[in-house]
């Protein structure tokens, strides 16, 4: 079978590899759709994993099942990590810190013609027969936004700002009605406006927002978020921010909260598939390029350069 592998230096290669076998108690899945995550563009992070099969925003059809809950032919949307639900972290709903969560994975990855999942991952694997494949593949990224929204304690009456209208910023806007977007890229501004959102291109802080989602991780984004924050505001950090500097005195005297949100857990994927079923978030709104696997190496470079918003591989 064919798969897409990240190799050092930000390069992606399409390779041939043996088909995985169905694990005892698990599933073998024929991939239908797999999205490229913006986190997979971060060379400093990906080089630590190289060589690494890309893809975790994925759905497919079961071709072999060793679990009666998932019949052959069913469309499924699995998360690439799943917790034990028994440890202290899980009992506190801090699923991403569970040792089992950290050790589970798709085999070999979602950007492959076939992948396998073991029985532990079935805890966070959803049946999606009622969804289009491209929409079902959004469960994981939408779930990350569901966790972000939950940790930020978003309320409909919050004056909410979303900084950065890449795909995750757009999902935040779609999931937080009334939020205002901030973006410098003219094409992303146009896309946000086309979806019916107010988008501001200026970077002058107004100090008027109760809640600010920082979607990209950079010093400029942090500085803008602080300038937009009203006293007592909550600022959600959605992405890593290596090398950023923070004036803790400024946060202290303004009673600001800085909140982090990393990945997602089973509660969030359950909420995500509900949002997708309600068409709150669908692929045509946030995926710019539906491509073949052979097109991924170029699409990877184009997304990294900001030429396209998000590619999703549609498998034959």
Same domain (yes/no): 38, 140: yes
CATH number of residue 211's parent domain? 3.40.50.720
Domain of 310 in residue numbering reads as 2-144+263-314
Question: Beta strand 27-35 with 114-117: parallel, antiparallel or unpaired?
Answer: antiparallel
Average pLDDT over residues 203-227: 92
Q: Cα angle at 143 between 277 and 139, to 5 degrees?
A: 50
Measuring CA to CA, which residue among 144, 156, 306 is closest to residue 238?
144
The answer to whether 62 touches 74, Cβ cutoff 8 Å, is yes
pLDDT 10s digits, 68-78: 999 999 999 99
pLDDT at 108: 98
Q: Round to whole Å and give the CA distance between 65 and 87.
A: 28
pLDDT on residue 302: 96
Cβ atoms 211, 225 nearer than 8 A: no
* Residue 200 contacts residue 193 (beta carbons within 8 Å): no
The verdict on 138 and 275 lying in the same domain is yes
Average pLDDT of the segment spanning 243-249: 93
Do 134 and 170 reside in the same domain of the chain?
A: no
Q: Which of 260, 285, 306 is the last residue of a domain?
A: 260
pLDDT tens digits along 36-56: 999 999 988 888 888 999 999
- Name which of 47-51, 59-63, 218-222, 238-242 the model is least confident about: 47-51
Nearest to 224 by CA among 244, 204, 197: 204
Looking at the fold, whether 246 and 163 belong to one and the same domain comes out as yes
Last residue of a domain, one of 260, 275, 305: 260
What pTM was computed for the model? 0.96
Domain count, the chain: 2
- Encode pLDDT of 95-146 as tens digits: 999 999 999 999 999 999 999 999 999 999 999 999 999 999 999 999 999 9
Residue 203 has pLDDT above 80, yes or no: no
């Amino acid at each position: 079978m064919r798969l897409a592998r990240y190799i050092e230096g930000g390069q992606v290669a399409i390779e041939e590899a043996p088909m995985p076998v169905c694990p005892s108690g698990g599933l073998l899945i024929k991939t239908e759709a797999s999205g490229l995550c913006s986190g997979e563009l971060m060379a400093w992070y990906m080089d630590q994993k190289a060589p690494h099969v890309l893809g975790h925003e994925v759905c497919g059809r079961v071709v072999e099942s060793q679990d009666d809950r998932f019949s052959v032919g069913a469309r499924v949307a699995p998360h690439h990590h799943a917790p034990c639900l028994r440890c202290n972290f899980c009992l506190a709903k801090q699923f991403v810190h569970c040792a089992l969560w950290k050790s589970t994975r798709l085999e070999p990855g979602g950007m492959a013609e076939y992948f396998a999942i073991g029985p532990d991952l079935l805890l966070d694997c959803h049946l999606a027969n009622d969804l289009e494949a491209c929409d079902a593949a959004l469960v994981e990224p939408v779930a990350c936004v569901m966790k972000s929204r939950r940790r930020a304690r978003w309320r409909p009456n919050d004056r909410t700002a979303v900084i950065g209208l890449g795909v995750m910023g757009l999902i935040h806007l779609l999931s937080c009605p009334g939020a205002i977007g901030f973006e410098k890229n003219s094409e992303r501004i146009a896309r946000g406006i086309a979806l019916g959102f107010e988008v501001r291109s200026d970077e002058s802080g107004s100090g008027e927002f109760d809640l600010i989602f920082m979607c990209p991780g950079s010093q400029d984004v942090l500085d803008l978020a602080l300038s937009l924050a009203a006293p007592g505001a909550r600022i959600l950090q959605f992405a890593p921010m290596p090398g950023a500097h923070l004036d803790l005195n400024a946060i202290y005297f303004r009673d600001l909260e800085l909140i982090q949100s990393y990945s997602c857990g089973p509660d969030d994927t359950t909420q995500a598939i509900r949002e997708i079923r309600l068409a709150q978030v669908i692929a045509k709104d946030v995926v710019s390029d539906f491509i073949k696997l052979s097109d991924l190496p170029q699409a990877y470079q184009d997304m990294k350069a900001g030429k396209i918003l998000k590619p999703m591989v549609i498998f034959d």
